[in-house]
Structure 1
Amino acid sequence: MKYIRSFPVELVFWVLALVLLATANPHEHHFSLCPLANLGITWCPGCGLGRSITALFHGDVNASLAQHWFGIPALLLIGYRIYQLSKQLLKKEFKLKY
């Protein structure tokens, strides 16, 4: 029960999100979770961010910038957050064992 409370949900979420974006096809239309897009509004400040990160994973920087200008900084921020959470988890695991 103790492990369930300390399960790193945020770390798993970010890693899984990046894995899914890395394996997605950037040229394929996909379902959007954006509530504005689902309501039929054509402009949203966040739309294209996932496609931008997907294009980065596929090495297409120009397409990434065309989809959303914040794709590169977002990927760096998510990567840094994964690093922080991993470091915190390893520190906690090391402290519990020894």
Structure 2
Amino acid sequence: MKRLFNRYAELTIWTVALVCLAFTNPASQGHFSLCPFKAIGLTWCPGCGLGHAISYLFHGDIRSSFHAHWLGIPVVLALFYRIVVLLNTRHYRFN
């Protein structure tokens, strides 16, 4: 039962994260951020660059996506693959 819950939790987290990144506008400068590096005043963060890259990719701007972080495209492909695997996994119960 715990493994089943973990699978659905992971599926929900990845799906919600990708949907949120698809609806954000990475070009806006004054947007709200949960980044701890931005909270302390640093301007560069590898996680933010990856998030911006994924958001640019969902908006169809591949050049800006690659410029924000070069791993954006492979990460999106890996996350889509992981979501498909989580959706297609069947759990068999043997008593």
**TM-score grouping bracket, smaller chain normalisation:** 0.7 to 0.9
- TM-score, normalised on structure 2? 0.79
RMSD: 2.0
User: How many residues matched?
Assistant: 90
Which digits, 9 at most, give the CA deviation of each residue in 1:32-59, with x for residues without a partner?
Answer: 2221221112232222211111111111
What amino acid is aligned across from residue 20 of structure 2 in structure 1?
Answer: L
- The 5 A counterparts of 1:7-86 are 7=5, 8-29=8-29, 30-86=31-87
**Partner deviation per Cα, 1:60-79 (whole Å, 9 max, x = no partner):** 10111111111111111111
Gap regions ≥5 residues in structure 1: none
Are the structure 2 counterparts of residues 86 and 35 from structure 1 closer, same or farther at C-alpha, using a change threshold of 3 Å? same
Equivalent residue letter for 2:84: Y
Distance in 2 separating the partners of 1:17 and 1:27: 18
Kindly provide the amino acid, as one letter, of the partner of residue 59 in structure 1. G
Q: TM-score, normalised by structure 1?
A: 0.77
> CA–CA distance in 2 between the matches of 1:43 and 1:56?
20
